[in-house]
Amino acid sequence: MTAPFSFTLNTTDGMARRGAFTTPHGTVQTPAFMPVGTQATVKGLKPEAVRAAGAEILLGNTYHLMLRPGAERVAALGGLHTFMNWPHPILTDSGGFQVMSLASLRKLTEQGVTFRSHIDGAHVTLTPERSIEIQLLLGADIVMQFDECLKLPAAREDMERAMQLSLRWGERSLRAFETAPAGHALFGIVQGGDDTGLRAASATALTAMPFHGYAVGGLAVGEPQAVMLRVVEEVTPLLPADKPRYLMGVGKPDDLIEAVARGIDMFDCVMPTRNGRHGMAFTRLGPVNLANARHADDPRPLDPDCPHPAARTYSRAYLHHLVKANELLAGMLLSEINIAYYQTLMAGMREAIAAGRFADFRDAVQSGWARGDLPPVP
């Protein structure tokens, strides 16, 4: 018998929380960053490299996987863990966000969303019940409720309508999840745009429902960082302390550290791999654009003090060359370096919270970014 999903809160330091949750595929230390494996692969990394970079859990996209290769197919092949050779925990999103951002000809009703596939134009319907079914076919350790996600800024009436609909879809997601195998978890998603009252109403209603964890959704969709952080710090005090809190689709390294300071436990974002494919590295010294000609003759590694080998092994000149030559290895190395940097940052936060010195850690990390990259080679 599989043990039920469980979350342990070990320590707090201000609002920052140090904990862990346990799933059928293993335990994840929090605060945690989940690399995104959109199409059953974290772009540019073998799964063992994702693990070696420090990741304990990754995110799969319901929208992409339902369209290709298909949830029933993945289930017949043994589930997503087997399919992509990632025997560690997986969280899947509900598809709601990608329907908004990728699909065309959407038609939204109380029942669900009908849209055309961005791959082959096929008509597809996604409902709370089907989203949960797909996520369980994939075998996700953590399943997300189906929700409606708006871009910001949005009119208050639209935000309220979407929030209320998401609440009703949350209830339907819970009912659809009742027959799930033991050990899987279902998270509710707080919506309400950038409106304080709507967010509070959403959080209050959701926390009355028996979810295993709570996400803050509908952020990192165009609003300034200050707005995002204001919503986070309004919402987290309304969430139960004994369940994990997940800020969806976030973000830059500074977003992570500021959201952890406001009580968030989990994150996902494509930024480490997407920016890596575009020649950008995240480092202790701030972001470094390897396409810049200043690196062309620089024999120094990206960061000699980085725990990840690729950041210490290859010269900036070589990385610059790979980027300019549009070589696959550029995206491979920079994506891996970035995933590893994010994981190192999370590990640093976990250690600092446990030691009661999170504020000092945050200052030190942000000062490093503010000082910026190495001076040019003399």
Q: Catalytic positions, please?
A: 93, 268
Give the range of 80-88, 94-102, 138-146, 368-376 binding a second copy by CB under 8 A: 80-88
First to last CA, the chain: 63
Contact between 85 and a second copy per CB under 8 A: yes
Q: Which of 118, 274, 278, 321 binds a second copy (CB under 8 A)?
A: 321
Contact between 329 and a second copy per CB under 8 A: yes
Answer yes or no: are the C-beta atoms of 190 and 144 closer than 8 Å. Answer: no
Q: Which of 3, 155, 241, 328 binds a second copy (CB under 8 A)?
A: 328
CB of 320 to a second copy, least distance (A): 8
Contact between 332 and a second copy per CB under 8 A: yes
CB of 209 to a second copy, least distance (A): 35
Instruction: Pick the closer one to a second copy by CB: 148 or 336.
Output: 336
Q: Which of 324, 347, 356, 357 binds a second copy (CB under 8 A)?
A: 324
Number of residues forming the site for a second copy (CB under 8 A): 35
Q: With CA atoms as reference, report the closest residue to 341 among 258, 269, 265, 283.
A: 283
- Per the document, the length of the chain is 378
**Alpha-carbon dihedral sign for residues 114, 115, 119, 121:** positive
CA angle, 139 as apex, 138 and 141 as ends, to 5°?
130
Find the binding residues for a second copy in span 2-61 (CB under 8 A). 39-41, 43-46
CB of 89 to a second copy, least distance (A): 19
CA gap 189, 260 in Å, rounded: 18
Q: Which of 77, 182, 355, 359 binds a second copy (CB under 8 A)?
A: 77
CB of 307 to a second copy, least distance (A): 17
CB of 150 to a second copy, least distance (A): 28
Q: Which of 168, 197, 297, 351 binds a second copy (CB under 8 A)?
A: 297
Neighbour count for residue 70 (Cβ, 10 Å): 13
Query: Which residues in 202-231 are b (16+ Cβ under 10 Å) and which e?
Result: bbebbbeeebbbbbbbbbbbebebeebbbb
Instruction: Pick the closer one to a second copy by CB: 180 or 317.
Output: 317
> Strand 113-116 relative to strand 16-23: parallel, antiparallel, unpaired?
unpaired
Binding residues for a second copy (CB under 8 A): 39-41, 43-46, 68-69, 73, 76-78, 83-85, 296-297, 299, 313-315, 317-318, 320-322, 324-325, 327-329, 331-333
